[in-house]
Structure 1
Amino acid sequence: MDLGPILEIFTRLRDCSANRIGYIRNLQNNLNSLQNARDELISVYQDVSMEIELVEEQQLKPTNEVSNWLVNVEAKVKEVGLILHKGEQVTQSKCIWSCSPKNCWSSYKLGKVVPDMIDELKALVEKRHTFHIVGQRMPHAPVEELPMETITVGLESSFDKVCKCFEDTSVGIIGLYGMGGVGKTTLLKKFNNDFLTTRRSHDKIDVVIWVVVSQELDIGKIQQVIRNKIHLPDEVWLDKNMEERAIAIFNVMKRKKFVLLLDDVWRRFDLLKLGIPNPRGQNGSRVLFTTRSEEVCGNMGAHRSIRVEFLAPERALELFQDKVGEETLNSHASIPYLAKEVVAECQGLPLALITVGRAMANKKDPNQWKRAIQTLKNYPSKVSGMVNEVFLLLEFSYNSLPSPTHKTCFLYCSLFPEDYNIKKDQLIELWIGEGFLDESGDVYGARIEGEDIIDYLKQACLLEKGEANEDSVKMHDVIRDMALWVACEHSSKPKFGVFDNTALSSIYASDLLAKWREAERLSLWRSTLPISLEEPFSLKLLTMIVQKTKLDKFPNGYFKSGQAIKVLDLSHNDTLKEIPAEIGELANLRYLNLSYTRVKELPIELNKLKSLRCLLINFTDRRLIIPRTLISSLSVLQVFSKLMPRPIFLLPASHCYEESVLLQELECLEHLKDISIALSSFSSLEMLLNSTKLQKCIKYLRLHPFSPDSHSSLNILNFTGHQYICNLHTLQVNGYAIRNLTWLTSAPNLRSLKIDSCYLMETIISEDFGAAGFEVSLQVFGSLETLKLKNLPRLRSIYPEALRFPSLKTLNVDNCGDLVKLPFDSDSAKSLEQIVGEPGWWDRLQWEDQSTMDIFSSKFQFQIQKNLSVSAHSSRP
């Protein structure tokens, strides 16, 4: 009998039993090894997580490989936890005297799984060492960081409520409401920026869009902001009406998971009219908005409304102390206790705490604090609502301004519409015209005084930096409301009458007429005039600002009763074509602005305006007629401005002659200090540069040579030594046949330089200037903030050596192919914010060393098309 098969079966059974016994016998050791492998994997997982946090701070995202690995690790660690728990139960149920079949089978099954799991954990640890990179740059940032206060005291509770609502899939529209100045905008900005640092940034949010709505609802403007964010091409946007643009937005947004943040909503509007799909449902999109009214939350269809509350006393004190500063708080033992009394009077309103806190900064005398407390307590309490809770407190900041001039200039800013970006030059010229500033006749001193007042008002939180650029400011709407309350409702008679198309519907006609007849200053903006021009204005009227209306002319005799008027601003009325002759009867008129109108001729009767100090006629009819001797008759004129766009046709010889005559008349004016002008002929330019008087006065110069003698300017513009142009602020040169502008070395106050289509230009400042022994880097372009170079095919250099450029903020280069080196080294242009140019040009640039290139690479932005650029480090490897 052959026993071989029987023995083979026996051997296999014996081996199988031995393996099973081994799984059972080694179970505890294997469980210990599994736990060690799990702990090692968790440690590696934590290391990778820390690396991910670092790359996320650099606005990178984890690679797909790393993300998948993290998910697998989390799943395996959870699975191992269950195995270890089961192992603990099995091992504890066994004893040395009892090994029931049930326990043996459980131990065997568990023991067989554990070694395989150990191998899988080790494989995950090994997989981590194969990662070449952890993070990668995102193709388009779904959210842009918004500038805001680093300290957001007291907003934690409201912020947590917003976050919880955001996570609720049944909530698509969230409304944040509360009093003006309570922190709604700050809260919304914090929520926007939180996408950059939290796990929400990985929840497949495609785009986060921030829009300021404001009281003057402009659907087209909001659509444009959305269009810019989602990069809609020109072919679906240009020449389309509002409904067609809404469709284009809708067809993109319906495929995205979006978050739309709307700040400062005043009344209901239909999101579908913007092109925004209904955010409710499973798409995960959200709309969040801020408003001052709970009613608006309901009207906008908010699924959840959240009130932004006042600060608790301890948090209010913390915010107030931050604004006052430790130095002041520690200057006297009693001031911290007095500070608590001031905080109690502010009733937890962040805007009031910030404003009053900054007003009390550097007040180190306890008596000043006691007087401030008494001032706050003694205000009347009969006014309710916003006046009682906000305006009286903000008026305290107004009353704390250091001089009557500061107060008057501050109130004056409320004559501009809500959310209006006020140009600093425009504002200061109005103040000069009103007589608020230096009355000695020194325009430059007045401008410096005006700049100082603007800076003070910004530091006191009564003005803010404008959105347009550094040269503009704006008023927060709550601050503006307070200023108008001070100027109008808080006085026995209304001093200001401010009307725009957003306010007319809420003002009764009788009230409007009363203000029209009694106000000292009238400001009318947009739409049609609210009152018939047949109605007489106040005999005490000092200021009349009428902009962006449908005004075409004034009726005869309208200005005969306006003897008190000092400022008349009719700019931006593109239907206004004529000025009545009786404007010459305004004997006290100091400021006249006819810019951006279609006035064809200045009436000769203007020569009667013997008090006129500022005359602005920018961008009027190209063939504006100025009667001979008119300008020279304005004996006290200090500021004259006549700028024009680049002509699209050759000007007649007579026009060139009129330019020369105009300059001759300007030269005769004894008190003239400030000229802004556009010239189009060589003879005019030659006259300006040969006149010490005109050189000293020139502030803003535009050169557009479109007369037959334009190419003769080659020599005059290549002479150096124009030492009297020290007050030149802005220069624009278009189309001149020049090789350099070395004469600008005599313009230390030049802030803006724009050169376009000068096809012979080879360098801006010639190297001969440096050879003359001057300290070039200290004085050339020391004040320059903006430099724009366009269509200069022969331009090889701005200057052969490195310059300091201590004030430069923007450099824009377009179609200057031979410019392959910038005058920068590692010590240049410390304040530079951006360089805009073509990608090909940037790649050809030569640098002094690698460190210099690295410094300026982060500031470069590709110029893709007009008014559109992208950051270089977001697109280049």
Structure 2
Amino acid sequence: MEFWTSVFAPSIVALFAFLLPCLYDNVVGCKLGENIELLNTALGELRAKRDDVVFQLDAGKVKGEQRQATVVEWLSKVKLIETDTNRLLGVAASSQDPCALRADVSSNDASPDERMSTSGCWCTDNISPCCRVHKVIKKLNEVRDLCSRGERFDAVTVQAPPPVVIQKFCDKTFGLDTTLEKTWKSLMTDRNRLLGIYGMGGVGKTTLLALINNKFANPEVKGKFDIVIWVKVSKVVDIAKIQDDIGKRLGINDDTWCLNSEEEKAFEISRVLSSIKPRFVLLLDNLWDEVSLSDIGIPLTGTEFRVVFTTRDRDVCGRMKKTEEIEVKVLEEADAWELFKLQAQCSMVNREISQVARQIAVTCGGLPLALVVTGKTMACKTTEDEWVRALEDLESSPGELRGTERGIFHVLKLSFDHLDETAKKCFQYCALFPKAHNINRDELVEYWIGEKFITEDRERQRTKNRGYNIIDALVQASLLLKDGESEQKLSMHDMIRDIVLRVRSKPEEGEIFVVQAGAELSELSHVPDWTSATKMSLMNNTIKDIPDDHEFPDQARLVTLFLQNNKLVEISGKFFVAMSYLVVLDLSRNPYLTELPEEISELVSLRYLSLLGTMIKDFPEGFGKLTRLIHLDLESTYNLQSTSLRMISRLSSFLKKRIGREDRGSMSPRT
């Protein structure tokens, strides 16, 4: 036995010494291959998560949000680990021997033996296979951990702090430099913390205020003020709206803001402006009357704030207890001519037309608004006869006082007279909305379609495009203004609106407009005679009901009625009987309105009806008789029963309806 042992033992030992390393390397090699595959998969998941995060960051950037610091740090680590892992995997893949993995190039504790070879790979002759596996597993765990951190982000961006100044777009100005310099110098004087700017409508007060706003972005005042707040004020002062605009600018109008009372909002505004942003600048555009700054929440106890307001009425400056007032005057003749030339493109006309153009510019009385509107109207006139006729029209009213609001009416009317009949109707319609009101472009076109101002087409988009073209023409003529921040919002200059309402309030002019929008009405008894009006706007009031005992005419002429944004609870049937000529009826945003009377069936001419934001539950049986209805807005009518929705199918063959939060309507014929 000892003999055989002595004979075979050395051979067996040698055999095991030969086989065991091979078996060990094969086992370790298989384990290494499996972990490399897992590392590849984990890296792919990390890249996908990184791409998701980057997409969210881009979306947040569009909204003006900023990256969270933890996300920035995470992305930096992802970039580093991706580079390291790619090198590690690349070296492993390039090796013919699966066990011959080079060292992890990201390791900072490489030994002198782990040195670069002439082929550019890391030599690892002294590293055991087991160590190689551990390096891959370590990298795998790092990748997985980083991916897990990315999954735990609740949000990758946060709302950015409000910028100190939001600059306003301003066209080239003429004749304002001296007034701007005087106003700015006064504003930078410590004793002048409340400054009033006054002047007639259309003279350039808002433009001057915009230039002042933009100067706060100059390097010379950088760091001297915490925030500049711009608020456009309506004719009837709405404290809550002013507070909402300020709250939005300060970034404190969260989901609970709308639930606060005016006193609570004032407290929050005062808290921020007193302790966090005491060096504030408040710019109030277009004050028609005194407004209590303390009711809004504006703290006037500091020494570094500034409040600037514009108004047509110099008396408002006194009632606001200003420290200084500055008048914006009409342009001198030279500046007026330069502005008119720019708008009318007079550089492209001959000498004879140029002489007539100078006379037309004079008739504008130096009022920038009149010069801009009239100039753009004349820009398309190419013959001397056209210019001479325009001058004759302007000079046909010698009794008017040039350079005054009363006198400028005739000048602005020239631009109106150059519109076609459809554009005239569409333009005048915008005066139904309150002063300083942002009109939604799409809603405006829907009104026009309902009124039959626009020729309808079987393809609804083509019909709407006609409306958009009219809007573009009115904007081009400066009769409507586009909101610089949103292409969807339009507005009408106060002075132009006043002129439209002046014309439309005279019986001899045809249609009669009665507009008491935002007039703080609580009942219909304050509304003038219903017998003559053809279009009436009572929107943005607090009217609660339309009673049976109200003295309505037997047959009113009313075609258009805006009652949106009131507090309506009940509408009498007698009212609808008297209003059978109605074509457009807007009852939207009356959150307490739960039912309509059966007599709504009398509105046989109705084409446009908005019940958006009401609590209507069911339609009365007579609703099915409204067969001419082409626009029905039921968005956010969450109480409406399904039976009422089925009734809609029996209405107009070209009914466009909005239900829920999406526009599901069409203008395709009923089959």
**TM-score, scaled relative to structure 1:** 0.54
Alignment of 1:342 onto 2:355: no
Alpha-carbon contact 1:635-1:670 (below 8 Å) kept: no
Among residues 380, 396, 421, which one is paired with 1:362 in the alignment?
A: 380
Deviation at 1:602, TM superposition (A): 1.4
What are the equivalent positions in structure 2 for 1:96-111 lying under 5 Å apart?
none
Deviation at 1:582, TM superposition (A): 1.9
Check 1:406–1:591 CA distance in 2 against 1; reply closer, same or farther (3 A cut): same
| Corresponding position of 1:90 | none
| Corresponding position of 1:201 | 222
Alpha-carbon contact 2:244-2:253 (below 8 Å) kept: no
In structure 1, how many angstroms separate the alpha carbons of the residues matched to 2:494 and 2:403? Answer: 16
Deviation at 1:310, TM superposition (A): 0.4
Alignment of 1:390 onto 2:408: yes
SS in 2 for 1:461: coil
Deviation at 1:483, TM superposition (A): 1.8
Alignment of 1:301 onto 2:324: no
More moved, 293-302 vs 256-265: 256-265
| Corresponding position of 1:548 | 565
SS in 2 for 1:536: coil
Deviation at 1:193, TM superposition (A): 0.9
Among residues 230, 240, 262, which one is paired with 1:210 in the alignment?
A: 230
Q: Deviations over 1:597-652 (max 9, x none)?
A: 11111122222223222222222134424458733432433422222489xxxxxx
| Corresponding position of 2:588 | 571
| Corresponding position of 2:186 | 165
Q: Deviations over 1:534-593 (max 9, x none)?
A: 231563221122112222222233322333222222222112111122222222222222
| Corresponding position of 1:351 | 369
Among residues 245, 262, 265, which one is paired with 1:242 in the alignment?
A: 262
**TM-score, scaled relative to structure 2:** 0.69
In structure 1, how many angstroms separate the alpha carbons of the residues matched to 2:374 and 2:468? Answer: 23
Aligned residue type for 1:374: E
Q: Deviations over 1:516-545 (max 9, x none)?
A: 221011221133339856231563221122
Alpha-carbon contact 1:544-1:569 (below 8 Å) kept: yes
Alignment of 1:527 onto 2:541: yes
Deviation at 1:188, TM superposition (A): 0.9
Aligned residue type for 2:669: H
Check 1:624–1:474 CA distance in 2 against 1; reply closer, same or farther (3 A cut): farther
Aligned residue type for 1:560: V
What are the equivalent positions in structure 2 for 1:209-288 lying under 5 Å apart?
209-231=229-251, 240-254=260-274, 256-278=278-300, 283-288=303-308
| Corresponding position of 2:610 | 593
Among residues 626, 633, 640, which one is paired with 2:657 in the alignment?
A: 640
Among residues 543, 548, 552, which one is paired with 1:536 in the alignment?
A: 552
Aligned residue type for 2:396: N
SS in 2 for 1:547: coil
Unaligned residue ranges in structure 2 (runs of 5+): 1-159
Check 1:156–1:408 CA distance in 2 against 1; reply closer, same or farther (3 A cut): same
| Corresponding position of 2:78 | none
Deviation at 1:492, TM superposition (A): 4.9
Deviation at 1:236, TM superposition (A): 11
| Corresponding position of 1:15 | none
In structure 2, how many angstroms separate the alpha carbons of the residues matched to 1:162 and 1:345? Answer: 29
Among residues 291, 296, 305, which one is paired with 2:311 in the alignment?
A: 291
Deviation at 1:212, TM superposition (A): 1.7
Unaligned residue ranges in structure 1 (runs of 5+): 1-137, 647-662, 673-692, 694-877
Alignment of 1:513 onto 2:511: no
In structure 2, how many angstroms separate the alpha carbons of the residues matched to 1:296 and 1:508? Answer: 30
In structure 2, how many angstroms separate the alpha carbons of the residues matched to 1:246 and 1:424? Answer: 33
| Corresponding position of 1:154 | 175
Greater RCO (Cα-Cα under 8 Å, separation 6 or more)? 2
Alpha-carbon contact 1:356-1:397 (below 8 Å) kept: yes
Check 1:228–1:549 CA distance in 2 against 1; reply closer, same or farther (3 A cut): closer
Alignment of 1:434 onto 2:451: yes
Deviation at 1:181, TM superposition (A): 0.9
More moved, 629-638 vs 598-607: 629-638
Check 1:583–1:188 CA distance in 2 against 1; reply closer, same or farther (3 A cut): same
| Corresponding position of 1:416 | 433
In structure 1, how many angstroms separate the alpha carbons of the residues matched to 2:469 and 2:202? Answer: 26
Check 1:139–1:546 CA distance in 2 against 1; reply closer, same or farther (3 A cut): closer
In structure 2, how many angstroms separate the alpha carbons of the residues matched to 1:542 and 1:642? Answer: 25
| Corresponding position of 1:313 | 333
Check 1:453–1:240 CA distance in 2 against 1; reply closer, same or farther (3 A cut): closer
SS in 2 for 1:362: coil
Check 1:609–1:248 CA distance in 2 against 1; reply closer, same or farther (3 A cut): closer
Task: Give the RMSD, CA atoms, in angstroms.
Answer: 3.3
Deviation at 1:377, TM superposition (A): 1.2
SS in 2 for 1:596: coil
Aligned residue type for 1:576: L
In structure 2, how many angstroms separate the alpha carbons of the residues matched to 1:295 and 1:166? Answer: 20
SS in 2 for 1:500: coil
In structure 2, how many angstroms separate the alpha carbons of the residues matched to 1:443 and 1:236? Answer: 39
Aligned residues: 507
Check 1:235–1:492 CA distance in 2 against 1; reply closer, same or farther (3 A cut): closer
Check 1:590–1:257 CA distance in 2 against 1; reply closer, same or farther (3 A cut): closer
In structure 1, how many angstroms separate the alpha carbons of the residues matched to 2:581 and 2:398? Answer: 35
In structure 2, how many angstroms separate the alpha carbons of the residues matched to 1:182 and 1:375? Answer: 23
Deviation at 1:231, TM superposition (A): 4.8
SS in 1 for 2:474: helix
In structure 1, how many angstroms separate the alpha carbons of the residues matched to 2:431 and 2:366? Answer: 26
In structure 1, how many angstroms separate the alpha carbons of the residues matched to 2:524 and 2:257? Answer: 40
SS in 2 for 1:260: strand
Deviation at 1:388, TM superposition (A): 1.9
In structure 1, how many angstroms separate the alpha carbons of the residues matched to 2:194 and 2:362? Answer: 35
| Corresponding position of 1:472 | 489
Check 1:273–1:439 CA distance in 2 against 1; reply closer, same or farther (3 A cut): closer
In structure 2, how many angstroms separate the alpha carbons of the residues matched to 1:243 and 1:632? Answer: 48
In structure 2, how many angstroms separate the alpha carbons of the residues matched to 1:384 and 1:517? Answer: 36
Check 1:231–1:563 CA distance in 2 against 1; reply closer, same or farther (3 A cut): closer
SS in 2 for 1:517: coil
| Corresponding position of 1:609 | 626
Alpha-carbon contact 1:619-1:643 (below 8 Å) kept: yes
Deviation at 1:184, TM superposition (A): 0.5
Deviation at 1:486, TM superposition (A): 2.2
In structure 2, how many angstroms separate the alpha carbons of the residues matched to 1:363 and 1:598? Answer: 53
| Corresponding position of 2:146 | none
Check 1:341–1:577 CA distance in 2 against 1; reply closer, same or farther (3 A cut): same
Q: Deviations over 1:411-435 (max 9, x none)?
A: 1111122222222222111111111
Aligned residue type for 2:279: K
In structure 1, how many angstroms separate the alpha carbons of the residues matched to 2:197 and 2:445? Answer: 37
Check 1:214–1:564 CA distance in 2 against 1; reply closer, same or farther (3 A cut): closer
SS in 1 for 2:359: helix
Deviation at 1:292, TM superposition (A): 0.8
Aligned residue type for 2:300: N
Among residues 192, 195, 204, which one is paired with 1:174 in the alignment?
A: 195
| Corresponding position of 2:152 | none
Check 1:636–1:288 CA distance in 2 against 1; reply closer, same or farther (3 A cut): same
Q: Deviations over 1:27-46 (max 9, x none)?
A: xxxxxxxxxxxxxxxxxxxx
Aligned residue type for 2:426: C
In structure 1, how many angstroms separate the alpha carbons of the residues matched to 2:651 and 2:256? Answer: 53
Q: Deviations over 1:203-262 (max 9, x none)?
A: x22332222222232323333443444455969968654334434433443453332211
SS in 2 for 1:617: strand
Deviation at 1:449, TM superposition (A): 0.6
Check 1:237–1:343 CA distance in 2 against 1; reply closer, same or farther (3 A cut): same
Alpha-carbon contact 1:421-1:467 (below 8 Å) kept: no
